[in-house]
């Protein structure tokens, strides 16, 4: 695998089409921010002949990071597709952002792919690798997705490739470190003044051949005698790892008995083990030197993808139902089958309009045909489920993206991926199917956004555009959630982190022309009575003609949390006429909704109407409403009013080594730990009740505390009294 002469590269400048699923490879690149995923994609594009010089297409853009926001930020923020052609196969490379805030783009890439390349920088610390990749590795393992590891940044001073592969085996191999072994090892050149020796080539451990890239082109050479002993130990371990995964149970005994296993058998067993996801080879790669035609290790990597990674025919397709939820038979990857495709990403192009990145799982998608669009709303995100949205839409032009270009396609067969123009109603996660046989694919899991961003329109001109801009943002990115908070009257956009938030604001401004102001996020506070109290409401006015006359006396007592407002009538003797008792209640409830001292709603009290007075002419519904409100305010003036704050039930999952740090931090946030329990993979689940006002930025701060390895969930639990000193500060800030 990879130890053969250069394959025929694809021609630059033409749209690559796939005739059959067997000629398609869909590969997602996963890795920490800065690990070199985009540079690797560009190096592979150069080697495959898709570009004439590193990372560049004809218009001067790059093949992957072509979004204006990405250029300004010098960081990938969205999923991008780069199609290549190698050895008769179409390879769809799905380059994902490495920053944790854009995990939704990563999830979309995993959904569209059939195999994964985990890109690891030789300069990264082991904690960074584990934090960014371990959860995704386990997710791929759960569905049997094949994985390989690519080590980049080999020019880092004093790189210890053997030590690094041992770390990777520990992080990714788990109980079977021999399932993660190098397939090639770098050949180091002359030592530089700074003390490091750059990699100039690779040793193919199976063939014991040197692949030298020092000239900018791949040259195959035999090893010299001094190199052979260094190769032998790594080669023996690799062979044992391959044989351990072989379906031929006699192979290990034959090998241990001294039999020389032929190369063809080893390569065939290696390819099978990689394809079924039980063996994970480690490779090394680097971009081409200026003027070079091939980056180090890119030929080997492309060969691994075409020969070792599975075709879409071997992928288990997500379950499908009718839009009404009736199960349907499993979808088969057949170009002649019924159409089932999925929108894995939605974006807006200022020149082309709305673009949908679509993976076709069955059938063939063609331009200008009418398809049925079905969507789940928020069914898999733990919130109120929206109604399924359904519509028939006409498919626009199909294209293969390449940098800023869109190269036209005549069709997209099952297993392939393409961009579809002008699907105006389709959102990320929606299913495209035949209009006379509508289907719906099960949704993929998206993380719940937990960082609130409260915004308001900057000016009058922005007010009308704000709602539409926010709605389009959420439709394109399902990891954002839009909330119209009825208690605080704020518009809140929930994001995954600060970078996610900043990109959302930038897109609102640059893509949709909406200027917004960011305002402090408010939590839904409440008030309640600390003790029993009485109040008298007197509303008497006489100014000629009909006056206003209403007097009522009430008693207010606190109730258990969650009781709301309870109104009790204990008037005797008709002191308050029956027709005005509902008026008193209406006034009390209206005042409770407005709040008493701080402007927060009053809850969990029983208000008892005891007595009152009325006038045969001047009493009215409005007068008794006013009297009821005045009585409640007077009662509040004579007792302690407690401020209630929302408390969230928080579950934090972190590696065991960070449990102490997390517990200490939660304690500093006034959290009460409910319990801890062991979880798989050397992790601990911490459950705690924490005031919501203390965890507004916890999504960001937990990432820092746990070096990117922790995650948490939150759910509203209850309201409970806030400590007096904190309540006092809030009231001062509110002017109460």
DSSP 380-404: TTTSPPPPPEEEEEE---EEEEETT
Q: What is the CA radius of gyration of the chain?
A: 32
Q: Would you kindly state where each structural domain of the chain is located, as residue ranges?
A: 21-308, 320-441, 451-518, 526-639, 644-734
Q: Is 608 exposed, middle or buried (0-12, 13-18, 19+ CB in 10 A)?
A: middle
Lowest-pLDDT range of 118-132, 580-594, 719-733: 118-132
What's the predicted TM-score (pTM) here?
Answer: 0.85
> Mean pLDDT over residues 42-47, rounded?
92
For residues 400 and 331, give the distance between their C-alpha atoms in angstroms, rounded to a whole number.
24
How many residues can be counted in the chain? 736
State how beta strands 24-31 and 89-95 pair. parallel
Q: Please give the full DSSP string across 469-504, using - where no structure is assigned.
A: HHHHHHHH-TT-EEEE-TTT--EEEEESSHHHHHHH
Inter-residue contact 442 to 325 (CB < 8 Å):
no
Inter-residue contact 215 to 204 (CB < 8 Å):
no
- The CATH number of 526-639 is 3.30.230.10
The percent of residues in the chain predicted with pLDDT above 90, rounded, is: 56
Structure confidence at residue 57 (pLDDT): 46
> 542-587 pLDDT, tens per residue?
776 678 999 999 999 999 988 999 999 999 988 999 999 999 999 9
Highest mean pLDDT among 7-16, 169-178, 278-287: 278-287
Inter-residue contact 36 to 153 (CB < 8 Å):
yes
Q: Where are any strands of DSSP class E within 24-134? A: 24-31, 80-86, 89-95, 115-121
The tokens describing 598, both together, are 């701080």
Q: Is 330 exposed, middle or buried (0-12, 13-18, 19+ CB in 10 A)?
A: exposed
For residues 341 and 363, give the distance between their C-alpha atoms in angstroms, rounded to a whole number.
8
Band the pLDDT of 454: cuts 50, 70, 90. Answer: very high
Q: Which residues of 616-629 are buried (b: 16+ CB within 10 A; e: fewer)?
A: eebbbeebbbbbbb
Q: For the chain, what is the mean pLDDT?
A: 87
**CATH architecture assignment, domain 320-441:** Beta Barrel (2.40)
For residues 693 and 198, give the distance between their C-alpha atoms in angstroms, rounded to a whole number.
52
Structure confidence at residue 75 (pLDDT): 58
**CATH architecture assignment, domain 644-734:** 2-Layer Sandwich (3.30)
Band the pLDDT of 377: cuts 50, 70, 90. Answer: low
Band the pLDDT of 381: cuts 50, 70, 90. Answer: very low
The answer regarding whether domain 451-518 maps to CATH 3.30.70.870 reads: yes
Band the pLDDT of 611: cuts 50, 70, 90. Answer: very high
- 644-734 shares the fold of 451-518: yes
The percent of residues in the chain predicted with pLDDT above 70, rounded, is: 89
> Mean pLDDT over residues 595-617, rounded?
92
- DSSP β-bridge partners for residue 461: none
> 403-450 pLDDT, tens per residue?
777 888 999 999 999 999 888 888 899 999 999 999 999 988 888 999
Judge whether residue 380 has pLDDT over 60. no
> 476-499 pLDDT, tens per residue?
888 999 999 988 899 999 999 999
Classify 2 in phi/psi space as left (phi over 0), alpha (psi -120 to 50) or beta: left
Judge whether residue 11 has pLDDT over 60. no
Highest mean pLDDT among 165-169, 685-689, 730-734: 685-689
Q: Where are any strands of DSSP class E within 559-659? A: 565-569, 605-613, 641-655
Structure confidence at residue 2 (pLDDT): 44
Judge whether residue 9 has pLDDT over 70. no
Q: Please give the full DSSP string across 308-377, using - where no structure is assigned.
A: HSPPGGGSPPPPEE-TT--B-PPP---TTS--EEEEEEEEEETTTEEEEEEEEEESEE-TT-EEEEEE-T
What is the fold of 21-308?
Answer: Rossmann fold (3.40.50)
Band the pLDDT of 382: cuts 50, 70, 90. Answer: very low
CA distances 194 to 124, 152, 260, 274, 284, Å, are 19, 19, 43, 38, 22
Structure confidence at residue 716 (pLDDT): 94
Structure confidence at residue 1 (pLDDT): 59
Structure confidence at residue 181 (pLDDT): 95
Around Cβ 647, how many Cβ atoms within 10 Å? 23
Residue 563 is given by DSSP the state: -
Judge whether residue 294 has pLDDT over 90. no
> 615-673 pLDDT, tens per residue?
988 899 999 999 999 999 999 998 999 999 999 999 999 999 999 999 999 999 999 99
In the 3-class helix/strand/coil scheme, how is 199-216 assigned residue by residue?
EEEEEECCCCEEEECCCC
Structure confidence at residue 139 (pLDDT): 82
């Amino acid at each position: 695998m990879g130890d053969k002469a250069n394959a025929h590269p694809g021609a630059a400048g033409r749209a690559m089409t796939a005739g059959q699923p067997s000629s398609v490879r869909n590969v997602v690149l996963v890795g920490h921010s800065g690990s070199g995923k985009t540079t690797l994609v560009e190096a592979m594009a150069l080697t495959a002949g898709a570009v004439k010089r590193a990372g560049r297409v004809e218009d001067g853009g790059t093949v992957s990071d072509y979004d204006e926001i990405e250029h300004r930020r010098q960081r990938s923020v969205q999923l991008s597709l780069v199609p290549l052609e190698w050895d008769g196969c179409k390879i769809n490379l799905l380059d994902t952002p490495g920053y944790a805030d854009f995990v939704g783009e990563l999830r979309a890439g995993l959904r569209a792919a059939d195999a994964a390349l985990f890109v690891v920088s030789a300069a990264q610390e082991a904690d960074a690798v584990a934090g960014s990749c371990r959860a995704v590795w386990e997710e791929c393992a759960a569905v049997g997705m094949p994985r390989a590891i690519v080590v980049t940044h080999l020019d880092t001073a004093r790189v210890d490739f053997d030590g690094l592969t041992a770390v990777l085996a520990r992080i990714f191999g788990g109980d079977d470190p021999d399932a993660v072994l190098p397939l090639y090892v770098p050949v180091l050149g002359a030592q530089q003044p700074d003390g490091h020796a750059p990699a100039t080539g690779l040793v193919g451990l199976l063939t014991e051949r040197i692949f030298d890239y020092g000239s900018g082109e791949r040259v195959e050479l035999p090893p010299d005698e001094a190199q052979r002993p260094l190769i032998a130990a790594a080669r023996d371990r690799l062979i044992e790892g391959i044989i351990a995964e072989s379906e031929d149970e006699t192979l290990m005994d034959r090998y241990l008995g001294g039999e020389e296993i032929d190369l063809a058998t080893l390569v065939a067993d290696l390819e099978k083990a990689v394809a079924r996801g039980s063996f994970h080879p480690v490779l090394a790669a680097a971009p081409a030197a200026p003027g070079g035609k091939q980056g180090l290790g890119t030929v080997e990597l492309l060969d691994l993808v075409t020969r070792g990674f599975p075709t879409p025919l071997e992928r288990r397709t997500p379950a499908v139902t009718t839009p009404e939820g009736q199960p349907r038979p499993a979808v088969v990857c057949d170009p002649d089958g019924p159409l089932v495709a999925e929108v894995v990403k939605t974006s807006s192009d200022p020149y082309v309009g709305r673009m949908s990145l679509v993976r076709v799982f069955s059938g063939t998608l063609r331009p200008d045909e009418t398809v049925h669009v079905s969507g789940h709303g928020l069914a898999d995100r733990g919130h109120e489920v929206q109604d399924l949205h359904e519509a028939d839409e006409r498919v626009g032009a199909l294209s293969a993206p390449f940098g800023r270009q869109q190269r036209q396609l005549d069709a997209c067969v099952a297993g392939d991926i393409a961009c579809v123009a002008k699907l105006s109603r389709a959102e990320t996660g929606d299913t495209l199917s035949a209009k006379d046989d509508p289907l719906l694919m099960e949704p993929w899991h998206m993380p719940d956004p937990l960082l609130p961003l409260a915004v308001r329109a900057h000016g009058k001109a922005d007010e009308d555009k704000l709602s539409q801009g926010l709605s389009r943002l959420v439709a394109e990115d399902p990891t954002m959630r839009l909330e119209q908070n009825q208690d605080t009257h704020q518009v809140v956009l929930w994001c995954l982190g600060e970078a996610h938030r900043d990109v959302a604001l930038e897109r609102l401004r640059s893509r949709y022309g909406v200027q917004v102001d960011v305002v402090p996020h408010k939590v839904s506070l409440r008030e309640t009575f600390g003790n029993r109290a009485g109040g008298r409401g007197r509303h008497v006015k006489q100014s000629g003609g009909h006056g206003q006359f209403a007097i009522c006396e009430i008693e207010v007592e606190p109730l258990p949390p969650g009781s709301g407002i309870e109104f009790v009538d204990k008037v005797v003797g008709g002191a308050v006429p029956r027709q005005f008792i509902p008026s008193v209640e209406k006034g009390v409830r209206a005042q409770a909704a407005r709040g008493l001292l701080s402007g927060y709603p009053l809850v969990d009290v029983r208000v008892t109407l005891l007595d009152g007075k009325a006038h045969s002419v001047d009493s009215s519904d409005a007068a008794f409403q006013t009297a009821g409100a005045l009585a409640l305010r007077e009662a509040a003036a004579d007792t302690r009013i407690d401020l209630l704050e929302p408390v969230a039930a928080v579950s934090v999952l972190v590696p065991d080594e960070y449990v102490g740090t997390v517990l200490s931090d939660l304690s500093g946030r006034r959290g009460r730990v409910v319990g801890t329990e062991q979880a798989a993979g050397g992790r601990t689940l911490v459950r705690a009740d924490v005031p919501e006002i203390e965890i507004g930025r916890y999504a960001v701060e937990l990432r820092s505390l746990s070096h990117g390895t922790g995650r948490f969930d939150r759910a509203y639990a209850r309201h409970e009294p806030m400590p007096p000193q904190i309540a006092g500060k809030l009231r001062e800030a509110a002017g109460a």
